[in-house]
Every structure is written in structure tokens, then in C-alpha cells.
């Protein structure tokens, strides 16, 4: 068997193999799915930098596939596309995990702030309820309105939590807590003052 007769079939086989190179469709679909899941987990909000890079990798992958698709079949090589698809998928999975973790942390912080705010408002309303009725109550009317406003604002915290807008929920809850404490202090001061007076007997006005 001479050398020529050996090289020719091997070369043909290699050329045929090269001509058969196909894009790594399954890996690309898997990478896209992983990126979508990362986005749905809130990655664009909680790990925005990392998520942007994952999207960048996905875009690079698509461009690489497109570049290879544009070449003659003989010269196509999807090796780099496979690497990018694998990188995009694994990075998207990491980002998804990270986003879920941060989202849970934000949710926990918002829920804790909500509970603290609720307790503060409850304490404020209890103080308002202690206020005497009748004539002496007049000085507390505006404070009562404030306490009612704080109670109503707690609904906004819940709405923000329901909408998964945890930063807004947390800042709102903290604001309610601070304001509630200020109102409680105001009530205590007013109660200390009017406590010296006698309750009113007349009802009509």
C-alpha cells in the first residue's frame, strides 16, 4: 500500500467531518433557558452587573454562531461557541442562585422592618386609646389623625412587599417606625399635660 493511497481517504474523511460541523443548538438553548431563569429570579435587579455580563456572553455566543454560520461549511468551527454556551449557562446558574439569595435577604429585611413598624404603630394606637374623652381630647385630635395615617401607611408597605419591591417596602416601614415613635412621644407629652385636667362632662358641641 503506497502512501498516497493512505493519505487520500484520511484527508477525505477529515474534510467530510469538518463539512458536517453543526452549531451546538442544545447547549445554546440550555444557555438561553438558564439566562431567562436568572432574569426571572430577579437577577437584573439584585445582581445587575453580573446579569448584564451573562447577557453579554449570550450575545457573544449568538454572534460567534452567526459568524461561523456565515463561513463556508468546510471552514466552520463551533468549538468556541460551545465554550461560550457552557460559560453562559454556568454563569447564568450562578447569577440565578446569587439573585435568589439577595432577593430573599431583601425580603427578610423588608418583612422585619414591616413587623417593627407594625409593633410601633400598635403601641401608638394603644397610647391614643388611653387618651381621655370629652373636652380634654381636643388637644389629641390631630395626633389621632397622625396615628390613623400611620396605620393606613402600613398597607402601602404590604403592597410594596406583594409587588416584590422590597427596597421601597423597607424604607417605608422604617419611615413609619420612626414617625410612629415621634407621634408616641408627642402623645405621651400631651397626656402628661392634659392628665392634670378634669374630664369634661358636657357632650354636645
Q: Which of 94, 109, 67, 84 is nearest to 27 (CA)?
A: 84
CA 66 to chain centre: 34
Give whichever of 152 and 163 is closer to another protein, judged by the CB atom: 152
Judged by the rule CB under 8 A, the positions of this chain that interact with another protein are: 44, 48-49, 51-53, 55-57, 59-60, 63-64, 80, 83-84, 87, 135-136, 138-139, 141-142, 145-146, 148-150, 152-153, 167-168, 171-172, 174-176, 178-179, 193-194, 196-198, 200-205
Residue 114 Cβ, how far from another protein at the closest point, in Å?
Answer: 14
Residue 193 Cβ, how far from another protein at the closest point, in Å?
Answer: 5
Residue 112 Cβ, how far from another protein at the closest point, in Å?
Answer: 15
Give whichever of 12 and 138 is closer to another protein, judged by the CB atom: 138
Give whichever of 11 and 189 is closer to another protein, judged by the CB atom: 189
- Per residue, the 3-state secondary structure of 112-179, as one string, reads HHHHHHHHHHHHHHHHHHHCCCHHHHHHHHHHHHHHHHHHHHHHHHHHHHHCCCHHHHHHHHHHHHHH
Amino acid at each position: 500500500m503506497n502512501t498516497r493511497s493512505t493519505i487520500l481517504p484520511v484527508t477525505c474523511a477529515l474534510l467530510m467531518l469538518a463539512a458536517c460541523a453543526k452549531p451546538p443548538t442544545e447547549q445554546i438553548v440550555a444557555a438561553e433557558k438558564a439566562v431567562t431563569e436568572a432574569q426571572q429570579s430577579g437577577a437584573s435587579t439584585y445582581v445587575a452587573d453580573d446579569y448584564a455580563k451573562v447577557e453579554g456572553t449570550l450575545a457573544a455566543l449568538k454572534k460567534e454562531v452567526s459568524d461561523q454560520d456565515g463561513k463556508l461549511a468546510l471552514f466552520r468551527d463551533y468549538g468556541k461557541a460551545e465554550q461560550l454556551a457552557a460559560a453562559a449557562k454556568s454563569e447564568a446558574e450562578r447569577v440565578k442562585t446569587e439573585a435568589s439569595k439577595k432577593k430573599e435577604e431583601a425580603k427578610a429585611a423588608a418583612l422585619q422592618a414591616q413587623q417593627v413598624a407594625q409593633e410601633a404603630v400598635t403601641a401608638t394606637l394603644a397610647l391614643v386609646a388611653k387618651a381621655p374623652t370629652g373636652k380634654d381630647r381636643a388637644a389629641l385630635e390631630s395626633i389621632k389623625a397622625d396615628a390613623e395615617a400611620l396605620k393606613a401607611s402600613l398597607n402601602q408597605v404590604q403592597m410594596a412587599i406583594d409587588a416584590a419591591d422590597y427596597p421601597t417596602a423597607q424604607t417605608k416601614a422604617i419611615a413609619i417606625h420612626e414617625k410612629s415613635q415621634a407621634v408616641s412621644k408627642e402623645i405621651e407629652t400631651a397626656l402628661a399635660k392634659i392628665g392634670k385636667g378634669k374630664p369634661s362632662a358636657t357632650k354636645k358641641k
